[in-house]
Every structure is written in C-alpha cells, then in structure tokens.
Amino acid sequence: MKIFAIGMNYAEHNKSLHGTLSKPERPVIFTKADSALLNNGKPFFIPDHLGRIEYETELVVRICKLGKTIPQRFAHRYYDAVTVGIDFTAREMQKKLREAGQPWELAKGFDGSAVIGEWVDVQKFRDIQAIHFHLDLNGKNVQEGCSSDMLYKVDEIISYISQYFTLKTGDLLYTGCPTGCGPVKIDDHLEGYLEDRKVLDFMCK
C-alpha cells in the first residue's frame, strides 16, 4: 500500500502558510510511509521530539484498481470510496526543511501521521468535487472545506501521479487541506465529518 498526499492544493491554505494564493505549476506530491497509517479509531500518540504537531483535515480517496499512465477522462474508474483523514504535520520541522530546500518526509511521514476514517462509497455523493467536510476538536468546529475548492481536482491528480507510480488497489490519496490547521495536545478529541456523517473519531495521547 502506498500513501500519496498533495500539498498546496487549496488557495486559502497556501496564503496562510506561504503568503500566496497562486496555483502551483504542477501538483505538489509527497508520500508517507505505510507505518504512518492510523485507522480504526486508534489513538494518535503525539511524538514529543518533533515539536509542534498540527492537524490537516483532508478528503481521502481509495484506489480500487491497478493503473498506470491513466488518462484523466478515465481516472474516475480508479477509485471507489472516500473518507476524512488527518495529515499530521510537524510544522516547525517542515518549515526548516522547506527553507533548506529539503524533502518534507520527516515532517509528514512519521508513524501515525496518516489518520483515516470510515470509508463511504463514492456513489453516495453526487460529485466527488462537491463534498463538504469538517473537523471538530473537543466538540468545536475548527476546520472545514469543500472539494470544489481544490486547485487540482481528484481526476487530475490521479492521472498525474500515475505517470510516475503504478497505482494499486488499496493505495490512498490525501487530496490536500483547506485553511484552518492548528496544533494538537494530549487528550484532544478529534471527529471528522463528510457532509453531516461522522466518519472519524479518535483521541490524542
């Protein structure tokens, strides 16, 4: 199983982190190790040596068939379900790595940093590019977004990634996060929603 993630895919988030609303010239792709995956409501153990850890709430797409060099018009055939996920980020470390022109993996791919919720069949939604999602932290709405605001759409991303990597059944695609990221601390309770359906529920330890 491979975990792909997209950076800088929402304009307002780009402005908050990078000071620009502009669309990257091409999708910004990074990967997470398979040990980053955290599911089934298991707690997230905050690593105490990585500094400030922030949540990034994202729509996650599940790949359902083998594919390589997929034309964009056929990309919709290669995923079957979506959920809400958290791309945990060691923010201070990421900033240092970015300033040094180095890869983000240490700040993005550490154990437990890719949380996923309960899968929902994509057919339940009228359009994958019109799904609202949000995160509650300790019962308060702290981050929300809609897939219609993505700078690069799901089918574009899948077509692009498949030029470099063979997609396989069970691979995951984190599609980027909207503005509103924030830190987590021990005993925080995180709940993620697709529209009004809760699909994610876990604690920080």
Confidence (pLDDT) at 9: 93
Confidence (pLDDT) at 18: 55
The class of domain 1-202 in CATH terms is alpha beta
Confidence (pLDDT) at 160: 98
CA quadruple 60, 98, 178, 70: dihedral positive or negative?
negative
Confidence (pLDDT) at 20: 60
**CB-count burial class (<10 Å; 0-12, 13-18, 19+) for 64:** middle
| Rounded-to-integer distance, Cα 205 and Cα 194, Å | 24
Low-confidence ranges of the chain (pLDDT < 50): none
Whole-prediction pTM value?
0.94
